[in-house]
Amino acid sequence: MNSYIHVVQYYETDRMGITHHSNYVRWMEEARIDFLKQAGWDYGKLESLGIVSPVTAINCKYKASTTFADEVSVEVSVEEFKGVRLKLHYIMKNTSGKCVCEGASEHCFLDKSGKILKLHKEYPDFYHALTSLAER
């Protein structure tokens, strides 16, 4: 999978010119959407199937600052998938390869009424795609 590239926008910085910490979580979401799209399961496809995937946990460890116009690459990998909960890992690096943030997110899969989906039964193709990503 290709890393997601984000260019820090001026509005994402604070008065000191440093990227506000809340933006790293947004970049994780952008990278997650791109990651699933690269895997053939973009959010539009999931939503058309009636699958929603709320965030159940999020974690960020800030390692170094970024500023306006910096390019940040976000590498996404599946840390764990056992059919119900998906755990993703994120490593964000600047152009010199230095880690600026490391994060994780957890998700479950629901139908539009809020019922937990059994992906292996109801959406086996999606289940197998996530399983194969977890094995990499």
For 40-61, the pLDDT digits (tens) are: 999 999 999 999 999 999 999 9
pLDDT at residue 135 in the model: 86
Average pLDDT over residues 23-43: 97
| Distance in Å from the first CA to the final CA of the chain | 10
Which of 14, 34, 111, 125 is labelled catalytic? 14
For 84-106, the pLDDT digits (tens) are: 999 999 999 999 999 999 999 99
Domains of the chain: 4-134 (3.10.129.10)
Maximum separation of any 2 CA atoms in the chain, in Å: 51
Residues 82 and 85: their CA atoms lie apart, in Å, by 6
42 catalytic? Reply is no
Sequence-ordered list of residues with C-beta below 8 angstroms from that of 25, at least 6 positions apart, any chain: 58, 60, 103
Residues 8 and 56: their CA atoms lie apart, in Å, by 26
Does residue 62 carry a pLDDT above 90? Answer: yes
